[in-house]
Amino acid sequence: MRTVRRLIVIVLFDGVDLLDVTGPPEVFSLAQRETDEAAGYDVVLAAETMDPVTTGAGVRVLPDTTFGDLSEKGIDTLIVPGAVEVDSLRRVRALTDPRVVVRVRQLAERTRRVTSVCVGAHVLAAAGLLDGRRATTHWSTAQQLATDHPAIEVDADPIFIREGDVWTGAGISACLDLSLALVADDLGETVALRVARQLVMYLKRPSGQSQFSVPLERVSSTRRIEDLRHHISRNIGEPLTLADLAAHAHISDRQLTRIFKTELGTTPHAYVESARVEVARSQLESTDATLERVASTCGFGSVDTLVRAFRRSLDTTPTEYRRRFRTSRD
């Protein structure tokens, strides 16, 4: 059998996020160990020179090769991490070095599959590789990406997005999810799941899995809305109609909708559904409750409604979610 070796190139530069550099090689190394096929990965770290690169964590990393030395080689997968700066107010901004952007553009021309992890999407964007595509990045810099590159359809929610031969991943530990997806694409789902098990990742998140959970969403500055959020959480199995919520807040339906849109950027109905999905996820991960029971206790009313909500929010079904994400067994 002919041995297939896939050359994986990870781009190095000063200030790069350390985990985005070291995480993917662990996944590819375990994939090599977990498969019996005559296939494998050659992972190299490439930089402008062979000098040590200082990561954003302060750890120095030695390159395996230079960009120049790769000029004649065909690359299977190019992985582009990112770098950020944080100001005194803890605001995060993605950084792009023009020299790195040029190198990435050149390397991409002879690469089968181009990927970014975390804020590396900003580098791909600056190289013109995401124009006209849907892409994701770390949620903290998604607005920056959308503002700087209006030709890109930025979606801050998914763990990763595949658009043809270009993949973008969220941050920061999502580099493992993206790498597992690449392994599944190359060697099959079974190998990827075995790798996830070796990584003690209890779940292998699908691309539609949200970066966010309801408790992490932005906090409203309006006490009335915060009270409603707690009310929703405490009464998740109740109908929680627009009229019910408006009555609880002692305001009109129209005023409630306007305040939710202003304060939380969503509608009351969408927020309630996301809260129900969050509770359902927890039950599916940690209990043996039937789908009928989950639908009832989470306020969906029927399994069909539960399934539709999961498809909208997570692009999967409750049954598939439980299969992938179950964290305990009785």
End-to-end CA distance of the chain: 43
Cα separation, 217 vs 214, whole angstroms:
5
Cα separation, 108 vs 185, whole angstroms:
19
Is residue 175 among the annotated active site residues? Answer: no
Q: Which of 8, 107, 118, 256 is labelled catalytic?
A: 118
Q: How crowded is residue 58: how many other Cβ atoms within 10 Å of its Cβ?
A: 7
CB burial of 314-324 (b: ≥16 within 10 Å; e: otherwise) equals bebebeebbeb
Whole-angstrom CA distances from 245 to 54, 236, 258, 278, 324 are 52, 12, 13, 19, 34
Cα separation, 268 vs 44, whole angstroms:
49
The catalytic residue positions are 118
